[in-house]
Chains A and B, each alone.
Chain A
Amino acid sequence: MKKVFCRPKSMTDTVFHYCAGCGHSITHRLIAEVIDEMDIRGITIGVPPAGCAVLAYKYFNVDMIEAQHGRGPATATGIKRMLPDRVVFSYQGDGDLAAIGIAESFHAANRGENITVVFINNAVYGMTGGQMAPTSMLGQKTTTSPAGRASLLDGHPIQISEVFTLLPGTAYIERCTVNSPAAILKTKKAIRKAFEYQLDCRGFSLVEILSPCPTNWKMTPIESNRWIDEVMSKKFPLGVLKDLPAGEAKKGGKTP
Chain B
Amino acid sequence: MNKVLMQGNKVIGEAAILAGCRFYAGYPITPQNEIPEYMSERLRQVEGGVFIQSESEIAAIHMVVGASAAGARAMTSSSSPGISLKQEGISSLAACQLPAVIVNMMRGGPGLGNISPAQGDYFQATRGGGHGDYRVIVLGPATAQELADLTMDAFDLADAYRTPVMILADGMMGQMMEPVVFKEPKPRVYPERHMMRGAGTGKHKIIRGLILDPLEMEEHNWTLERKYRVIAQQETRHELYRAEDAELILVAYGTGARIAKGAIKRLREMGIKAGLFRPITLWPFPTAELRELAKRNKDFMVFELSTGQVVEDVRLALQGYARIGFHGRPGGVVPTPAELANVIIRQYDPKQGIAEHQ
Per DSSP, chain B at the interface is mixed
**Residues in A neighbouring B70, C-beta threshold 8 A:** 78-79, 82-83
Number of B positions contacting A (CB below 8 A): 45
Best-buried of A63, A66, A77 by chain B (most CB within 10 Å)? A63
- Inter-subunit contact B88/A68 (CB<8 Å): yes
The answer to the question of A71 belonging to the interface, with a C-beta cut-off of 8 Å to chain B, is: yes
**Residues in A neighbouring B35, C-beta threshold 8 A:** none
The answer to the question of B229 belonging to the interface, with a C-beta cut-off of 8 Å to chain A, is: no
- Inter-subunit contact B67/A81 (CB<8 Å): yes
The answer to the question of A107 belonging to the interface, with a C-beta cut-off of 8 Å to chain B, is: yes
Question: Which one of B152-160, B195-203, B309-317, B322-330 contacts A?
Answer: B195-203
| Least distance between A115 CB and chain B CB atoms (Å) | 10
**Residues in B neighbouring A63, C-beta threshold 8 A:** 196-199, 204-206
**Residues in A neighbouring B49, C-beta threshold 8 A:** 255
| Least distance between A7 CB and chain B CB atoms (Å) | 15
Q: A74-B66, A78-B64, A83-B70 are in contact. Are A103 and B207 (CB under 8 A)?
A: no
- Inter-subunit contact B92/A74 (CB<8 Å): no
The answer to the question of B168 belonging to the interface, with a C-beta cut-off of 8 Å to chain A, is: no
**Residues in A neighbouring B210, C-beta threshold 8 A:** 50, 54-55, 66
The answer to the question of A175 belonging to the interface, with a C-beta cut-off of 8 Å to chain B, is: no
Interface string of B43-84 (1 = CB under 8 A from A): 100001111101110111011111111111010000000000
Report which of B22, B55, B66 forms a contact with A107, defined as CB distance below 8 A.
B55
Residue of B nearest to A54 (CB): B210
Number of A positions contacting B (CB below 8 A): 38
Residue of A nearest to B203 (CB): A61
Best-buried of A45, A82, A104 by chain B (most CB within 10 Å)? A82
The answer to the question of B279 belonging to the interface, with a C-beta cut-off of 8 Å to chain A, is: no
- Inter-subunit contact B56/A82 (CB<8 Å): no
- Inter-subunit contact A86/B66 (CB<8 Å): no
Report which of B25, B62, B206, B212 forms a contact with A67, defined as CB distance below 8 A.
B62
How far does the alpha carbon of A52 sit from the alpha carbon of B123 in the complex, in Å? 35
| Least distance between A48 CB and chain B CB atoms (Å) | 8
Report which of A78, A81, A103, A104 forms a contact with B69, defined as CB distance below 8 A.
A78
Report which of A41, A57, A106 forms a contact with B199, defined as CB distance below 8 A.
A41
Seen from chain B, the residues whose Cβ lies within 8 Å of a Cβ on chain A are: 22-23, 25, 43, 48-52, 54-56, 58-60, 62-72, 74, 88-89, 92, 96, 196-201, 204-210, 212
